[in-house]
């Protein structure tokens, strides 16, 4: 961008899309990362992990969207306090900018764990999530955004070099493997959490053909077996050690997900409706593919979801 | 939004989607309008018409996207000069803000009139247009945008009250009727220009069923008759006088098009790929419909396209 006049809303902003690079060396090229988090609940562990990300904070902008209900209000209070603290603390910890949005639509679906996952509640829930993600994305992505890191509010543990590690692959869309820590007979163990990162199967494609136009296929339900290779199960059954091993994907989850901003700018959003019988982050994957982008997963690169 | 710290990039921005209203009385409610224009060529008539819009300029932001080729460079020079002039002129003429973007992808398709409209070149051309619109939209829509007015760079004449007139209908998406002035035997006449605003027909739906997944239906080609009621033809055959008469639409053109920002925020963009056998602004219409929004046209409200 050319030099700009002073003031909080410059009257003329010039901007060359070419000048925003997205490369395998994002720090060297001072590439801006926008971290986007839809948030129902504020987890201190999420925040602590976020603060420890070693990507230069002056290159990171944060964006949050919270529901308009009581849960949103409670989370907002905690988030506000946490943001104020870091933004008025030591310079090197401060982020480039923070946007906090409250939704104008209800998340009508109950958040109780079991209900939340019942198959029939899924479409409504995933559509509400998709709308929240789209509102957040459309409102915060700016002229200088190079990368968008989607990071759910209940992601409590990632390597500190998460952004650099994912970006080093220089892929349009890349997703680590989302697991969960738990205790098995008092012993620390891990298990797969997010089943939305998968490669397509012929069986699922056949199922789709027989469905009505608004029907959606969901992963992880025994009454709807797709036999898709799931990235989570691939690691579970055959854990590898090379964290940079890639696999090509056709569906992605959004718990942690790095996207080149141009993929979104081209139009890839989170469909809040059945798109090729997919919705939300999985629908996003299909949309990115329709735009000729390839998606990759890192089966051996683990990140962890909160265990409620 | 709450009071904000000074500086060109405030560290924390708070924002309630509820507080941005989109109503039938946008001036009374101080609603922000973002006018978005993809521009290959700068027309003085477009600019003069834009400056005459009677919606308060301090509530209007402008966004332009120009191709990276020589045409884009020529248009940019003229646009730049025009923008500088108005933004440093009398306060009441100044717009709230202006963003000018250059594309990072080529518009490979020739712009020669005849070639431009050849059926087989359409998909490539419309996909490039869709990508340009999406980049512009994603990059400029902000937290306070209430309405988005799409206005092509070759729209040379509209009523000065265009924004108020369209907004007064308080519809999610509304489109005036795009005509063209010409001389018939030396006499002033008008003729339909934009065929992309239409209501769906059973014949077109049947055609779609028989098509391959990537095939797209286009309006205005005799070898592909859809028998869709076209808003342009409705006025031509039966011109009415009530400029506020509405008709419900299933496809819309983008030469002049008013959209509530929330429709875009929910995810409605311009698909650069076949979406239900539709693309670009017509695909946008289908996407808005999938998001449960209704679209309307004003057959008797005319706006005029340049005649090349
Ligand atoms: N703004 C907003 N965020 C939500 C909503 N529902 C869930 N979230 C957040 O979106 C992310 C994913 O939701 P979650 O319920 O954890 O999904 P799951 O882990 O896949 O079962 C989390 O960060 C939630 O805090 C919603 O309705 N509005
Ligand atoms: N940025 C950009 N603008 C374009 C491109 N192609 C066309 N436009 C602009 O998009 C609008 C519609 O294109 P136009 O060729 O006039 O379409 P038509 O009138 O429907 O035949 C006009 O404002 C053009 O100046 C492109 O590749 N990039
Ligand atoms: Mn979760
Ligand atoms: Mn035109």
| Closest Cβ opposite residue B103 in set A17, A83, A270 | A17
Per-residue pLDDT for chain A (308 aa), expressed as one digit of tens each? Answer: 333 333 333 457 787 777 788 999 999 999 999 999 999 999 999 999 999 999 999 999 999 999 999 999 999 999 999 999 999 999 999 999 999 999 987 655 555 555 556 766 888 899 999 999 999 999 999 989 999 999 999 999 999 999 999 999 999 999 999 999 999 999 999 999 999 999 999 999 999 999 988 899 988 777 788 999 999 999 999 999 999 999 999 999 999 999 999 999 999 999 999 999 999 999 999 999 999 999 999 999 999 999 98
Beta strands in A21-73 (DSSP E): 32-38, 60-66
Contacts 24+ apart (CB under 8 A), B17-20: B17/A101, B17/A102, B17/A103, B17/A104, B17/A135, B17/B262, B17/B265, B18/A68, B18/A102, B18/A104, B20/A104, B20/B143, B20/B144, B20/B145, B20/B146, B20/B261
pLDDT tens per residue, range B239-257: 999 999 999 999 999 999 9
Question: What is the Å distance from ligand 3's center to A136 Cα?
Answer: 17
pLDDT tens digits, one per residue of B287-297: 999 999 999 99
Distances in whole angstroms, Cα of residue B153 to Cα of each of A159, A226, A284, B107, B194: 48, 48, 31, 16, 14
Range with lowest mean pLDDT among A156-165, B4-13, B49-58, B69-78: B4-13
Is the CB of residue A146 less than 8 Å away from at least one CB of chain B? no
- The yes-or-no verdict on residue B165 having pLDDT over 90 is yes
Q: Is B179 helix (H, G, I), strand (E, B) or coil?
A: strand
Q: Which CATH number fits domain A17-305: 3.90.550.10, 3.40.50.300, 3.40.50.880, 3.90.76.10?
A: 3.90.550.10
Determine whether the shortest distance from the Cβ of B129 to ligand 2 is under 6 A.
yes
Strands A145-151 and A32-38: parallel
Enumerate residues 6+ apart whose C-beta is below 8 A from A186.
none
Please identify among residues 208-247 of chain A the ones whose CB lies closer than 8 Å to any CB of chain B. Answer: none
Mean pLDDT score, B69-75: 95
Q: CA-to-CA distance for B34 and B97, rounded, in angstroms? A: 9
B8/A10 touch (CB, cutoff 8 Å), yes or no? yes
Instruction: Provide the terminal-to-terminal Cα distance of chain A, rounded to the nearest Å.
Output: 46
Please give the pLDDT value at position B195: 96
**CA B200 – CA A300 distance, rounded (Å):** 49
Query: Does B185 contact chain A (CB < 8 Å)?
Result: no
SS3 A241: coil
The total number of residues written for chain B in this structure: 308
pLDDT in tens, B184-237: 999 999 999 999 999 999 999 999 999 988 899 988 777 788 999 999 999 999
Distance of alpha carbon B198 from alpha carbon A214, whole angstroms:
24
State the helix-helix crossing angle for A119-140 and B119-140, rounded to 10 degrees: 80
A143 touches chain B (CB under 8 A): yes
Give me chain B's average pLDDT, please: 91
pLDDT score of A246: 98
The alpha carbon of B152 and the centre of ligand 4 are apart by a number of angstroms equal to 6
Contact predicate B31/B23, CB 8 Å = yes
Measure the CA–CA gap between B308 and B301, rounded to whole angstroms: 22
Query: What local confidence, expressed as pLDDT, does residue A6 receive?
Result: 37
Residue B4 has pLDDT above 70, yes or no: no
Q: What is the ipTM of this complex?
A: 0.90
Rounded Cα distance between A226 and B273, Å, is 27
Q: Residue A190: exposed, middle, or buried by beta-carbon count in 10 A (0-12, 13-18, 19+)?
A: middle
What mean pLDDT comes out for the span B283-305? 98
* A197 CB within 6 A, ligand 1: no
User: Which stretch of DSSP H or E encloses residue B283?
Assistant: helix B280-290
pLDDT, mean of residues B163-175? 98
Q: What is the pLDDT of residue A123?
A: 87
* Residue A35: strand pairing partners: A62, A149
């Amino acid at each position: 961008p050319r030099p700009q006049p002073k003031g909080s809303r410059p009257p003329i902003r010039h901007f060359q899309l070419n000048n925003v690079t997205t490369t395998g060396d994002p720090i060297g090229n001072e590439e801006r990362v926008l971290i986007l988090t839809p948030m129902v609940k504020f987890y201190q562990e999420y925040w602590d992990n976020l603060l420890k990300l070693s990507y230069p904070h002056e290159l990171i902008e944060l964006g949050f969207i919270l529901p308009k209900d009581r849960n949103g209000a409670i989370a907002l209070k905690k988030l506000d306090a946490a943001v104020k603290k870091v933004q008025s603390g030591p310079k090197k910890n401060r982020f480039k900018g923070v946007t906090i949005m409250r939704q104008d639509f209800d998340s009508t679906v109950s958040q109780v764990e079991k209900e939340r996952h019942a198959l029939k509640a899924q479409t409504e829930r995933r559509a509400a999530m998709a709308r929240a993600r789209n509102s957040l994305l459309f409102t915060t992505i700016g002229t200088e955004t190079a990368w968008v890191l989607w990071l759910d509010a209940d992601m409590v543990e990632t390597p500190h070099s998460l952004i650099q590690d994912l970006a080093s692959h220089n892929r349009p869309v890349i997703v680590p493997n989302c697991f969960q820590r738990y205790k098995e007979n008092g012993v620390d163990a891990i298990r797969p959490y997010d089943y939305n990162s998968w490669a397509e199967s012929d069986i699922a494609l056949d199922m789709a053909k027989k469905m009505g136009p608004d029907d959606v296929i969901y992963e992880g339900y025994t009454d709807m077996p797709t036999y898709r290779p799931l990235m989570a199960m691939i690691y579970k059954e055959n854990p590898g050690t090379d964290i940079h091993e890639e696999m090509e994907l056709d569906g992605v989850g959004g718990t942690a997900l790095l996207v080149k901003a141009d993929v979104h700018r081209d139009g890839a959003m989170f469909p809040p409706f059945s798109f090729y019988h997919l919705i939300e982050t999985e629908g996003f994957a299909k949309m990115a593919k329709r735009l000729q982008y390839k998606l990759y997963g890192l089966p051996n690169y683990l990140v962890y979801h909160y265990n409620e």
